[in-house]
Structure formats: C-alpha cells, structure tokens
Amino acid sequence: MTVQTLTELWTLLNRLNRFSFKVNTDNESVTGWQGAGQGLIKRRTNMTSMSEDIESGAIVETIERGDYYVSKDRKVSMHNQYLWQFNGDHIRLTHLRFGWDKPVYLFDIIENEQGALVTRQSHQCAADNYDASFLLTPDSLEMQWRIQGPQKREVLDYIYSV
C-alpha cells in the first residue's frame, strides 16, 4: 500500500484541470441516474505560491463545468463548486452549491493509520449517507462517492486530472 499524504493531495488539487465521472446505480435505487460526464476545472486560491510549507487555512475553490450524458441521446449541462481548506491534520471539503453565503459542509479528509486518505465521517443529507474514498497518482485524483439511502444506491467514480 502506498502512503498518500494530505500534502500530496493539496499539491495535486492545485494542478487539476479536468474531470470525468461515471454514475452507477443498483436495482434498488429509484433515481434513475446512470451515465457518464466530463468537463473542465477552474481554480481560485488564497495562496501566493505553491511552496512546500502549506499554511493552515489555505483554500482552493474548484469550479467544475461540463456535460453529463444520461444516455447517448440526452446531455445535461452540469456545474459543481467546492471549497477545499487545508487545516494541518485534515482537508475540509465544502460544497458551494448554494453559494459562498450558504456552504454545505461535506466532510474532513484525513490520513488513517495505514496512510490512506479517508473521510473522518460520512455526510448525512436527509435520509442519504454520502461517503468517499481517494486514490492519488502523480497526475490524478480518483474520488469515489458512495451514496446510500432508502431510495438511493449509487456509486460515482470521479477522475480529476492535470
């Protein structure tokens, strides 16, 4: 197993330019979401340089815009906006879907005892539980979302790359 640190994730977040994803549901999910998408990432940061010394409180805002192909005949424009905040022993991920004045806290990303990047806790949204796992390569971040609830059984496999 490869040790993947928060610092490596932070450095990578500041280089990512594009994303792709696939959505898979099982037979118990009633959302009907199934398909794939892709798009580009824009970033805003409060860091003046990308030195090795990351200060606690450093932020990166990622803005994702792209297309989601629900089927080969149906394309939907999509947009996501996230705030990543480096806090020393964790990176906090917040969804800005309702704007900066109404952030939705998702979870903190930590390094576990085995050196893997994991969520400290799952995100609860109504009856649905959101969890994520992370895998880094030198030029990509693989992030898998697992959504479980009374009517949802979905897995979203994202690949963010430079």
- CATH number for the domain spanning 10: value is 2.40.128.20
Written as tens digits, the pLDDT of the chain (162 aa) is 455 788 899 989 989 999 999 988 776 666 666 889 999 999 988 765 555 557 777 899 999 999 999 877 889 999 999 999 999 899 999 999 888 899 999 999 999 888 889 898 888 888 888 999 999 999 999 999 898 888 888 889 999 999
In a domain, 51, yes or no: no
Is the residue at 88 inside a domain?
yes
In a domain, 1, yes or no: no
* 121 domain-assigned: yes
Token pair for residue 114? 């085995």
In total, how many domains does the chain have? 1
- Can you give the residue range of the structural domain that contains 27? 6-46+56-161
Domain assignment present for 150 = yes
Q: Does residue 71 fall inside a structural domain? A: yes
- Contact criterion met (CB below 8 Å) for 33 and 22: no
Which residues face 23 on adjacent strands? 35, 156
142 by Cβ neighbours in 10 Å (0-12 / 13-18 / 19+) ranks as middle
